[in-house]
Amino acid sequence: MNVKTLLPILPLLFMLCACGESEIKQTPSQAVAIEATDECHLCGMLISEFPGPKAELLQTDTNSGSGKKIHKFCSTRDMFSYYLEPENTRNVNDIFVHDMSKTPWHKPADNYFINARKAWYVAGSSQQGAMGNTLASFATEQDAINFQNEFGGHVIRFEDITHAILMPAHH
């Protein structure tokens, strides 16, 4: 086989390789990098200036032809505050959070986003995110338990998160 014969099929081969690669890494292709100038969709603060897990939410955009709109959040707490509002929940396609077992607390890396609906969370830990308490997010229950053992709090699933859990009691 010569080069001229292979040229027409090279793009197809690259696409097939890319598809398999994203499955192996388990990194969602929809999550995008958080840039230094990105502001939190809920509070407007610069996302990269704060520690702790960040979040991205892909929502159906009925106002544009693109179909989906990406909202970025400075913390998992802000994302859940937005998501739990009934008018927002129904239009959400995908949600991503950082796997904090794989990335430093003070500067989460964008290549460690995971599916938020499948993640495990620790609420009420001593670790602080943007504007105080946040939910630490993990890909596995064991990683969440390890974090809980070190920093306190309690382990919960996505579907168990409510507005009451987001607002810690003041003593």
Q: What are the sequence ranges of the domains in the chain?
A: 27-161
DSSP letter assigned to residue 108: -
> Tell me, what's the pLDDT at 64?
60
> Tell me, what's the pLDDT at 1?
52
CA nearest neighbour of 56 among 165, 147, 68: 68
| pTM, to two decimals | 0.78
Q: Which residues are paired to 55 by β-bridges?
A: 73, 97
> Tell me, what's the pLDDT at 132?
87
> Tell me, what's the pLDDT at 2?
52
Contacts 24+ apart (CB under 8 A), 106-109: 106/51, 107/51, 108/52, 108/53, 108/54
Residues 6+ apart with CB under 8 A from 22: 29
Q: What is the pLDDT along the chain (171 residues), one digit of tens a residue?
A: 554 554 454 444 444 444 333 332 333 457 899 999 999 999 999 999 999 999 999 987 666 656 778 999 999 999 999 999 998 888 888 999 999 999 999 999 999 999 999 999 999 999 999 978 899 999 999 999 999 999 999 999 999 999 999 986 543
